[in-house]
Structure 1
């Protein structure tokens, strides 16, 4: 049988893509409402700055479970069936969404309930990330993996567009409806995951103790300067320039556009990202991948600054869309480099480290944004973050020359010239 030339020709990948798509819509429909409920409940008894700090706390509570469990989650993804890990995390998210739907329906929603669910979601994401990320390369041939990454990004980005919009509309119709919708979509995602057939099980070489196997995965990240540089660039750039946690403040106090406007703001970055991901699914990047990633992060920081000073809804959405497109450009290159430069038996552990930095840049970044907004105001926090992302990119250009020298995704082609010559001589 001829080898597939496109990921969608593979049945297992189609179910994987559908599960990721449905899960992403559900997560974003739920998360946008959690943020809105947190801020509005806090504003009933708190000042705007104190309420902003509660948004920061939500991000922190989602990050801490992931931070403490990261070493074991990567090992679990490399040691056990990645399909069942993903299924278990989706099942727990079904339960979280159902609890929020019931509590909201009864009119008993409180900040402690929202905070508790945030912790549970943090654990879900901690185990789901490495499993989902490491599963994709097991489903498609290596030659079409960059295309599969682009398609996976499409499912995530389009879900990020649709999710907040559906969540905002459902919440406007009936607050509990957004969580009921998320529950249904999580069930669909679980059903798709159950349809994925046999996947070769990862085997960690040798008989080292699990703690040593965990340490080996962490050590690999530090030893591979290209992997380490790309991971940490995303960590610091998005940590500083992330605006997600402050969108409720902009929608409520600055742009004054309400929950529907909030859903539009939340969807804007994903619109830009989706267009970029769709383009890459047809025209994958093949040359100068490192320099292009650095320029993308610079544009991301600049667009964030524009959003920070804007008081016009249309301009704010355009700036967020450009930021999303630039971020997708960077994500596509980073994920392709990491997946293709990492052996399969280490992908779960390396993916866990990557997810930790992504979560640090997102959830912990949300905490940083919320706390910084409480001190400097939302506009000041966004301006400092966008400028910081630009500074970090300039620094990383010189601290990690392997990034700017990366010309292709192929690990062999990017070896130093003299080492390439030796390999050719040996061959």
Structure 2
């Protein structure tokens, strides 16, 4: 859906600021980590659209095709200046079970160490960089078991630890595959967990409403910033496998924005009666927001310009500026050429000509004061 990728850069910047504020650690946003490390060309394009040039993949996604007898280093150039950091699938999945039981934790640690030693024995004289990426949200017991395994592995004589940046910068193995698998190899269970296209269409609709709303506000930042973050959250991968919760959140954001936009509206108007050929019709704009609105235009349109003119023609416009928590009456001069009812429509517009809110319809009933009636009134005044 057009415009969806445009949210990723803002979301990345907001995430960076938030992490640094809360954890006092400056995050590295040059990495993108797709779900379960599964990639295809479209996912790589999305992952790098926010500025990342390194994608954390997993070895069961970027599988070796050259029948290598050993596990190659993690870093792989995959084109367009992008580096795939391929994590070892077995080491990464070692702690996904229930680690609250001592026997499960001990077995996972042993399997982790055995797999680490096996990788070393594949080609002991060939130093390689192997990266481990656990599940995104490990439990405390899973994290503790993994920490124990890594500490034990560090104390061994076949491996030493490095940080992710060092592994990324290591010289790639020339024999390792660098070809990104096509979309048909992407796991179906992950595809089913993705947000549907309708979700991104709904986010785009909310963004359009927000764009139309912010142009009339005297302080748009009070609305644009929180709703911008809310729409970033609507696109989060945390909704994977939770379609009902994602739908409820999207609906909540959209409903709240609609409720705000309805705080600026035209007051319903009853039939206006005009005695004479010319008169003034007031139309009231109400602003129940806590901040002022501006850059609005109120247009009053007659459905029969020959019978009832508004200003010099069938319609007239007036600029509108209303303080927060106030109402303002906008007056229009009208000229009538015949008696009877004429339907009139009032509509608010933004400065770029977009309608704002629903239009209000009311009738203008024109009644002429005849000369006889004028004589009777003059006689009454004389008496």
Bin for the TM-score computed over the shorter chain: under 0.3
Q: What TM-score does the superposition give when structure 1 sets the normalisation length?
A: 0.20
- Counting helix residues as a fraction of each chain, which structure ranks higher? 1
Give the number of the structure whose alpha-carbon radius of gyration is greater: 2
TM-score when normalising by structure 2: 0.22
Structure number with higher strand proportion: 2
